[in-house]
Amino acid sequence: MDATEYHERRRFANTPFGEIAYVERGSGPVALFLHGYPLNGYQWREIIERLSDVRRCIAVDLMSAGYTRTALDQDVSYPAQARMIAAFLDALNIEQVDLVGNDSGSAVSQIFAARHARRLRSLALTNSVVHDQWPPPALVWLVDAARVGIYKTRLKRLLGDLEQFRANLRHVFEHPERLTDETLRTYYEPFVASEVSGQNLERFIISIEARHTVEIETLLKELCVPTLILWGTGLLAQSDDPRRARGHRTSRCQGLVSGRIPRVRQRKTAGALETRRPEWRFVMTGMLFGHRHDGIVSLTCRRAKRARHRLRDHTAATACRHWFAASARKIRSVERETRWR
């Protein structure tokens, strides 16, 4: 899906939080995809295309991002974003979803899962923020620039020189040279399309606070939803020192799987993640290595010999496809066991 088709397919859902922009493909059970900052639903264009045969895939633009229309007096914090997602699903008459979140979109996903667990069939977090381990040190300057009101001006200036812009994106993209002019403009131009969108952008950046995920730790420990964690180790923004980046990424991942998401731990011998719940026990593919290119995480699984669904050199779309099928089988198994009790 190129930018032209993406724009043509865009729809808006009227909610108390504003007009929420989204693009959808396919039919069947709904899978909802939440992007990270500073992107929008266009991040998921290839994923939703490839999964459209098994899911009704919806890629939404969060408030203060992409083409969603939000008023200046609207709360755009992470808890408000999660409440917006609930209202968005209500507007589309959707009861349950497979929720997939990336980067800061994973924070919204975790808050939504904690507050609206019954609306989830499954949860997948990719390169997720976790607990008190965000924002990463390399991006603290971003929050400071937004707080003093200069980030939107800087972003507008960078859009005037796309080559320089690409060079400045090396801390979040492994291969920024692969970003076409069209992709850059689709991601970033909505942020500076008007004075209101620029102010909303800075309000959203200022709202980045780890307390939002710390506050839901107790609720997450009670979450009984099949959960998959995909971790692409090519992302360098997690550490201000590239020499320490791998260790920092590993510690963040371990923090996520060893208590923040309930009963999910890293199983080093198998190179996989294993869930231990009263309702089910099953192995999820874990130690996933890959790289983020232009907002799409491509993943490879190493040493997952005991994983029930093996992934080798597959894309994130294939990872999601396997995950949707595996979680659905497990839910049906749990339902059968419950009926026999």
Q: Is 118 helix (H, G, I), strand (E, B) or coil?
A: helix
Give me the pLDDT at residue 175, please.
81
What residues contact residue 124 under an 8 Å CB cut-off, 6+ apart? Answer: 98, 99, 100, 101, 227, 228, 229, 230, 320, 323
Q: What is the pLDDT of residues 166-222, one digit of tens each?
A: 988 877 777 888 889 999 999 999 998 898 999 999 999 988 888 888 899 888 888
Q: What is the pLDDT of residues 309-325, one digit of tens each?
A: 333 334 567 777 877 88
Give me the pLDDT at residue 174, please.
73
CB 250 within 8 A of CB 127: no
> Residue range 281-308: average pLDDT?
30
Q: What is the pTM of this model?
A: 0.78
* Tokens encoding 217: 């730790």
Distances (CA, A) of 82 to 13, 29, 244, 324: 15, 20, 32, 22
Give me the pLDDT at residue 232, please.
59
Which domain CATH number covers 231? 3.40.50.1820
Q: What is the extent of the structural domain holding 102? A: 3-340
* Tokens encoding 272: 């996989």
Number of domains in the chain: 1
Q: What is the pLDDT of residues 143-164, one digit of tens each?
A: 888 898 888 888 999 999 999 9
